[in-house]
Amino acid sequence: MRTLKFKNNDEMPAFGLGTWKSEQGEVYNAVKTAIKKGYRHIDCAAIYGNEKEIGEALSECFAEGIVTRKDLWITSKLWCNAHAKKDVIPALKQTLSDLQLDYLDLYLIHWPVALKKEVMFVSEKEDLISLKDLPNTVTWEAMEEAVALGLVKHIGVSNFGKKALEDLISNSKIKPEMNQVESHPYFQQEDLLSFCKDKGIHLTAYAPLGSSDRADKFKAENEPKLLEDKIIADIAKSKDATPGQILISWALHRGTSVIPKSVNPGRIAQNIQAEQISLSDEDMQRITDLDKNYRYLTGEHWVFEGGAYTLESIWS
User: What residues make contact with ligand NDP under the rule CB under 6 A?
Assistant: 18-21, 43, 110, 158-159, 180, 206-212, 227, 242, 244, 259-264, 267, 270-271, 297
Name which of 181 and 308 has its Cβ closer to ligand NDP.
181
**Closest CA relative to residue 103, chosen from 158, 144, 52, 147:** 147
CB environment 285-294: b (16+ within 10 A), e (fewer): ebbeebeeeb
Least Cα distance to 187 among 309, 310, 297 occurs for 297
The least distance separating ligand NDP from the CB of residue 16, rounded to whole angstroms, comes to: 8
Among residues 86 and 230, whose Cβ is nearest to ligand NDP?
230
Nearest to 264 by CA among 310, 207, 212, 192: 212
Q: Is there a catalytic annotation at residue 48?
A: yes
Cβ 111 to ligand NDP shortest distance, Å: 7
**Which CB, 64 or 218, lies closer to ligand NDP?**
218
Pick the closer one to ligand NDP by CB: 161 or 210.
210
Q: What is the DSSP string of 179-197?
A: EEEE-BTTB--HHHHHHHH
CB 203 within 8 A of CB 178: yes
- CB of 169: closest distance to ligand NDP in angstroms? 19
Supply the minimum distance, in Å, between the C-beta of residue 175 and ligand NDP: 19
> Of 28, 39, 48, 296, which one is the catalytic site residue?
48
35 contacts 64 by C-beta, under 8 angstroms: no
* H helix or E strand, kind and range, residue 5: strand 3-5
| Number of residues assigned to the chain | 316
Active-site residue list: 48
